[in-house]
Structure 1
């Protein structure tokens, strides 16, 4: 009997524990269901908020695209207006001379001007009878795009063959020769070109083709100017350039250490040295012997210079900005002291693609052969007489 009571008691106790366990599990399941329901509600809310945010972002991006297009249109309009204003200012500068600040007797002014001109004539006659200087740029023609962002192209200035020469890059040894400008502009790439291999690699973009010869700069232990005959394919002469401690002549075209140029008077070298590193120097060379005849330190700074050329003994330096904009002739240096920066007009080049890596003047055609970001461009120049400034 006692055993039965004990068994019944144990059975009741076990039943109570079992029921408590079931109740506990039911409470836990209910808590989990509540949490799942809360998570589902929060997930739905987050999804809805993300959808609304996405719609807002899409709408804002569309508005930004519209504003970007409107801004681009406005910038193009402003650029057109700026170009128009610059052209009008250039025109006004050529039409209206600077007005005197004080009244001076006309006869006295005429007498002083005559004395200055006579003095300048005396200086000028020592070197040359060439009297032309740039007045403006009449037209621009884009021939094609061939090669890399930097290079040089030109005609033979004195040879008279009409051939066009392409020297692509700043360190190569292969010249592409075309029979004419028409062949060059109409060819697909270099398909119509004749390949000429130089005996050494050139340095920079400062080469010229003059009287059936290539004059180029070679960098070895010292900087050398090499004269190469195009007719028989041989080196005629080479000479170490006398100026020492060279630095890049243009800060925006650092690959060019010596820039050779040709004008009505012959061969020139544009360079810079550490002794006068802020400014550009100029030297007159003998095209036959490569001897340096005379040297000058100009007043034209190297900073922001991209290229230069020589016309009638006057150095024209072209400037730009590090982020390429519109090039302009901002400094001139005349070896005959006939043209100053105050006398020379500020000439702007038409808008192009980047910055000039080379500008080569052809005195027979009065054209500039320009290389601009791989584009080969011709600029037609308008000239005037120096003594009529």
Structure 2
């Protein structure tokens, strides 16, 4: 019923698909109780139905009003309804923390590659790649990279907001507070400390989320706070070649009042919770003009709790990992 409400459609085609999914959900619940081997067949049918649902949603409203990679628009006009790409990423339950999405700057030949990570706490211990969306839904992994190899290396991270760019995972290093990047092509890791970055300030509701990585049309970013800024959010632009923060912008917004943040075309968008069903983009900082403003762009939460929200410039979607569910949002830009 939550899915039906979230997509807010009353078309005959959607009603038919909703009935199919509701009935199949009942079957899944029964199968899980006594025969998990048959779930593979059910997953296939779910994947097919999900594609139909996404097409219904795409046909309902066109959000593709800006060319991919272009910043010739006036920023976000609105956020679409949540689209559920996976009903539950963890059949056993408990993978509350994690993330998923596509490479924000895919290497040639890897344009359809997806990634996923889920765990019971905020540790980042591995990342799994899938060659395309269907393989992601079917859990048919292309490759899994462990960030911990016993007796040799410890590359584990912590937090929830990380990005994959050019087949490289950017995340917060656990052992020594700072930035980390794990190259999945060469299977090597690199670590850098951000001067003055404090491990004391996290996003609201997000434990250990001291560094938040984001990617947009102009490159790679990281947000954090410092003691010097009294906990206000600091935005840094990362030089991807040197892996150094080369430019810094100071905002006036207290980091712990923010639930999440992302970048689009050099503009920071910060969100906060309005109520159990509503999230709001309430603050922006435009690095192109060195201007900040308060706005109100509300969008629907899929569930009250979520840990991962990030924009992907490769397809202009917002990706959310929500308590084991894969969710994405279409973005409508101003002309």
For the criterion TM > 0.5, the same-fold answer is: yes
CA separation in 2, counterparts of 1:261 and 1:359?
10
Which residue number in structure 1 is paired with residue 97 of structure 2? 150
Aligned-CA RMSD value: 2.4
More strand per residue: 2
**Change over 3 Å in CA distance of 1:336–1:303 after alignment to 2:** same
**Conserved in 2, the CA contact under 8 Å of 1:155 and 1:163?**
yes
Q: Secondary structure at the match of 1:182?
A: helix
What is the aligned partner in structure 2 of residue 159 from structure 1?
106
**Structure 2 SS opposite 1:207:** strand
Equivalent runs, 1:56-67 vs 2, <5 Å: none
Q: Larger Cα Rg: Structure 1 or Structure 2?
A: 1
Q: Show the counterpart of 2:289.
A: 337
- Asked if residue 250 in structure 1 is aligned to residue 250 in structure 2, the reply is no
| Aligned residues between the structures | 252
The runs of 5 or more residues in structure 2 that have no matched partner are: 9-69, 149-154
Give structure 1 regions of 4+ aligned residues with deviation exceeding 4 angstroms: none
In structure 1, what is the equivalent of residue 133 of structure 2? 181
**Larger fraction in helix:** 1
Equivalence for 1:284 = 237
Q: 1:248 to 1:325 in 2, by over 3 A?
A: farther
The equivalent position to 2:123 in structure 1, one of 162, 171, 177, is 171
1:307 to 260, 265, 269: 260
The alignment partner of 2:164 has SS state of: strand
Residue in structure 1 matching 2:179, options 207, 214, 225:
225
Residue of structure 1 in register with 2:224 after alignment = 271
Asked if 1:202 corresponds to 2:157, the answer is yes
In structure 2, distance between residues paired with 1:228 and 1:272: 23
Give the SS at the match of 2:228: helix
On the 8 A contact 1:247/1:277 being kept in 2, the answer is: no
**1:216 offset after TM fit, Å?**
1.6
Q: Is the 8 A contact 1:142 1:377 kept in 2?
A: yes
Contact 2:159/2:208 (CA < 8 Å) preserved in 1? yes
Confirm or deny that 1:348 pairs with 2:303.
Answer: no
Deviation at 1:217, TM superposition (A): 1.3
Q: How does 1:68-107 map to 2 (within 5 A)?
A: none
| Structure having greater relative contact order (Cα 8 Å, sep ≥ 6) | 2
Distance, in Å, in 2 between the alignment partners of 1:336 and 1:192 is 40
1:379 to 323, 329, 333: 329
The answer for unaligned runs of 5 or more in structure 1 is 1-75, 84-128
